[in-house]
Structure 1
């Protein structure tokens, strides 16, 4: 593969990862900021802080370790803010963000906590990831009923490119998706005005109620629903995750960006997979360059917050679903193969997959963690029975 072609693949994967990340959850971020009572200037500052923090950490970690380490905002964390932020003023919320960042930083400094993330058996972790990815891939086929014309073009592009030019399939899907998004609905998307975003400082106020009801849930959800799947995703592609440095760095970055609205930055999982598969680069040791490009696009998205976000929001959800789903099919196949490859872990992995897909929430704990707990308990019971 020539140098120019490699760079093109890296750029395409990086842009797609950012596109999928923004279009799939930026609305939740906007809702969270609105629920917190943020002014338009403060909302702009939130997006600026998140974009810069994600860009700097993604570029810094990937360049230093030469592995694809993509960071992202905590979408489940934003969902918590949507439902709980209205109870507190902005200063108390900012204080809660600072405390959550400190908790992540402490997790990185305390070795047993960081090592626990790396001890989860790979089949169970990849089964959990498969359950997380499956709805994204299934959603790619739903537009066949709502926008069949767009679906046919996207699906034909996927099939033909995979057959004849598999290395360019992501690029071709993105090009066709952009063309369809530009004209879908009969009218082209209007061009937004782009301007440099301005930071807006809010002095933190530390409120015990906000710490208990915002900081702790935000920390737990970020660790279990974001960092844990992120570590598992990297492990599934045979990358060693520098867990302690990542937790220390992202925790510190969260503390610094919190007064400007950076509520949580953590390891990415779903969007990170787009930068790790074989289509990005046949040499797995060079795929980190795709994340560096993603970091560059993060920086642009942060600096041009209001205008760039309007572009991402202008993409019809059907196009976004197809881009994400088709891009992640290869990763889903890899996860399922890894989950059910080892005979000793097949039944536990199946339980992880089914429980995680169920979406159950018990005692305030979501299905992602329950799936791992049930699978791990069942795995221990099987191993005990075999050894007795």
Structure 2
């Protein structure tokens, strides 16, 4: 919700986007799980939502954002139709992709600190609840923080927070605007983090638990559905990564061949969540914006830790990874193109240069 509103969506458009993402996730999760009798979990891109939140410095209109969403969906579908493109994306060095994602997430994860300073009576209880549950039951820490935030928002807004809001689910068409700068600064980073941060790890999780899922089916279906949902306000759907382990692991069912039922159940639950999109939109609209981003910061803190770890785990690539992180986290906009693209470009150039330099020194030593 925060991401959609940052890139210019009205309340109605954000509500439509949330509903579309839920229905798209439900339809693909149920359809692919039934088709392949595997626990295929399709979700919306959380790293992608973080990219939207980070786009605030670019002043993007929602029509242009929708154009970037549509291009992202088409690129994902092309990865399925054109295997060489899929292989090229999956070969983006992990340190660079992880550092770019970390740079996108870093400002969001600072939001809880800012929220405590600006709204201490609202934000402090949320963080205390998160810390308490993170110590006692980490799985429930973020849901508990979200519940605490909802209570705080209702207390802050009073009894009129639902006034004038469309509670019933709504669909609103948004005409796409294909702005080259927005496509490069938003669409391409959205595509890269969705592939590198969601789809590729998702396949690894599936394979870890013994499921060989056809990549073409996932890329083509999620890409085309994302492109279709873009004009209704949704950003992108993809194969689940970390959360895929919930339905693929023995916790879902001891029998490997029956775990697809858990994924189908999850898909059905998405429909229920989608029907509450109007209420969610009204709640977000009634809150101070920094409070919503603060809750998002708590939710993606684990992703930030994972990204930083992935970026720095190879000593030889730490310098280009740090450069990527710093440029991306800076939020700079050059020629109308956002920092995520420039971070990726700078990191790639430094990695190529240092690799070339090291190979030359190695050659001299060999002689």
So what's the TM-score if we normalise by structure 1?
Answer: 0.67
Classify 1:363/1:174 alpha carbon distance in 2 versus 1 (closer, same or farther; 3 Å).
Answer: closer
- For residue 232 of structure 2, the aligned residue among 240, 258, 262 is 262
Is 2:2 aligned against 1:30?
no
User: Any idea what the Cα deviations from partners look like across 1:206-264, whole Å, max 9, x if unmatched?
Assistant: xxxx8xx6176676566522121122223568547976444321332256557xx3366
Aligned to 1:150: 122
Bigger shift: residues 52-61 or 352-361:
52-61
Segment of structure 1 superposing worse, 147-156 or 288-297: 288-297
Q: Distance in 2 between matches of 1:335 and 1:51?
A: 26
* Greater Cα offset, 332-341 or 306-315: 306-315
SS at match of 1:66: coil
1:224 aligns with 2:188: yes
Determine if contact 1:226/1:267 at 8 Å carries over to the other structure. Answer: no
Given that residues 197 and 304 in structure 1 are in contact (C-alpha distance below 8 angstroms), is that contact kept between their aligned partners in structure 2?
Answer: no
Distance change in 2, residues 1:118/1:347 (3 Å): same
Contact residue 114 and residue 243 of structure 1 kept, 8 A: no
Query: Partners in 2 of 1:113 and 1:341 — Cα distance?
Result: 26
Q: Mind listing any 5+ residue stretches in structure 1 that lack a counterpart?
A: 1-21, 34-39, 86-92, 205-209
C-alpha separation between the residues in 2 aligned to 1:194 and 1:128? 37
Equivalent runs, 1:100-119 vs 2, <5 Å: 105-119=77-91
Which residue is equivalent to 1:5?
A: none
The superposition leaves residues 283-342 of structure 1 with CA deviations (integer Å, 9 ceiling, x where unpaired) of 598699998777556534655654553244334434322321122222212211221111
Q: In the alignment, what sits opposite 1:233?
A: 197
Match of 1:183 in 2: 155
Distance 1:253 1:152 in 2: 40
Structure 2 segments unaligned to the other structure (5+ residues)? 207-212, 253-258, 361-367
Q: Distance in 1 between matches of 2:40 and 2:170?
A: 30
Structure 2 residue aligned with 1:310: 282
Corresponding residue number in structure 2 for 1:11: none
Task: Report the aligned-residue RMSD.
Answer: 4.5
The 2-side partners of 1:368 and 1:254 are apart by 21
Helix, strand or coil for the counterpart of 2:113? coil
Q: 1:130 aligns with which of 102, 112, 116?
A: 102
1:142 offset after TM fit, Å?
A: 0.8
User: How many angstroms does 1:354 deviate by?
Assistant: 0.9
**Aligned pair 1:214/2:178, yes or no?**
yes
CA contact (8 A) 1:107 1:247 kept: yes
Residues 1:296 and 1:227: Cα distance change in structure 2 (over 3 Å): farther
Distance 1:304 1:338 in 2: 36
TM-score by length of 2: 0.71
| C-alpha distance in structure 2 between counterparts of 1:215 and 1:244, whole Å | 29
Q: Would you say 1:320 and 2:320 are equivalent positions? A: no
8 Å Cα contact 1:97/1:215 also seen in 2: no
Partner of 2:143: 171
**1:53 paired residue number:** 24
Aligned partners of 2:80 and 2:215 also within 8 Å: yes
Query: Per-residue CA shift, 1:95-132, capped at 9, x if unaligned?
Result: x9988865653453122222211001112111111111
Contact 2:167-2:279 within 8 A present in 1 as well: yes
CA distance in 1 between counterparts of 2:262 and 2:61 reads 31
Measure, in 2, the Cα distance between the counterparts of 1:70 and 1:103: 18
Cα gap change, 1:188/1:180 in structure 2, threshold over 3 Å: closer, same or farther? farther
| CA 1:60–1:28: 2 relative to 1, 3 Å | farther
Mapped to 2, the partners of 1:171 and 1:43 lie a distance apart of 21
